[in-house]
Amino acid sequence: MKRIYLFSLCFVLIISFGIFIYPGLYKYDKFNQKYPVKINRLTGQTQILSVNGWADVGGYDSAADKMEQYKNEISELLSVQNEKIKNDVLSSIRVELDSIKESYISNSEASEFDGVRNRNKIPNEINSSLESNEFFEKGDSPDRVQEVMGTPDSIIGGELHEIWKYGNSSVTFSNGTVNGWSNRDNNLKLK
């Protein structure tokens, strides 16, 4: 019986040594790879080494959860605020554009727009006079061509056969009348 008692005592001593002395009561680690941390193996109490010594962490997880919740609330408020600011700015721009449009319409006269719309239309009486004064055709005299086109860039030939040059275009005269033309620059005023 002594043997069993001795064997039991050795077994309890080895187990006690393994639990309390060999690994130690505390497990040591590092927080963020900077600060030493010790954790009690039996109670789970955690302490961080600071300038003032070992300080209890107590409730770090709950504080981290609260900070995360606070961060999410702030993000939500910011997104709502950004949407409100965007809508306010767009609304004020719409109001300003509408007022500018209204003031422009009230200050403008319809005749200004009619002038722009009808800028290419020429009244018939002016149009008929332009037709007679602004174009030349076969059989017209050199004086008529000069009246319509102006002075030529160059004149080639003689009295019976002449070619008047206007850029790359030319007018051909035969016996003092327009006989033909070449309108390469599309600048001749032809009927």
Q: Flag whether 190 is in a domain.
A: no
Residue span of the structural domain in which 153 resides: 133-182
Q: Which residue has the higher pLDDT, 187 or 56?
A: 187
Same domain, 53 and 77: no
Q: Decide: 39 and 45 in contact? Cβ < 8 Å.
A: yes
The average confidence (pLDDT) of the chain is: 80
Q: Flag whether 5 is in a domain.
A: no
Q: Flag whether 51 is in a domain.
A: yes
Pick the closest to residue 25 from 12, 40, 36, 37 (CA basis): 40
Digit-coded pLDDT (tens) for 31-60:
776 778 888 877 878 888 878 888 887 655
pLDDT of residue 103: 79
Q: Flag whether 151 is in a domain.
A: yes
| CA–CA dist 103, 38 (Å, integer) | 77
| CA–CA dist 7, 1 (Å, integer) | 10
pLDDT of residue 133: 65
Q: Flag whether 101 is in a domain.
A: yes
Q: Of 12-16, 59-63, 84-88, 133-137, which gets the smallest average pLDDT?
A: 59-63
The answer, yes or no, to whether residue 30 has pLDDT greater than 50, is yes
Q: Flag whether 159 is in a domain.
A: yes
Q: Flag whether 99 is in a domain.
A: yes
pLDDT of residue 183: 92
Structural domain tally of the chain? 3
CA dihedral over 64, 67, 71, 76, signed as positive or negative: positive
Q: Flag whether 2 is in a domain.
A: no
119 confidence band (pLDDT: 50, 70, 90): low
pTM: 0.33
| CA–CA dist 7, 69 (Å, integer) | 57
CA dihedral over 59, 60, 63, 69, signed as positive or negative: negative
The answer, yes or no, to whether residue 132 has pLDDT greater than 60, is no
The answer, yes or no, to whether residue 121 has pLDDT greater than 90, is no
| CA–CA dist 33, 46 (Å, integer) | 16
Digit-coded pLDDT (tens) for 146-186:
999 999 999 888 778 899 999 999 999 998 899 999 999 98
Neighbours of 49 (CB within 10 A): 15
Residue 55: beta bridge partners?
Answer: 48
In sequence order, which residues have a C-beta less than 8 Å from that of residue 44 and are 6 or more positions away? none
Q: Which residue has the higher pLDDT, 19 or 10?
A: 10
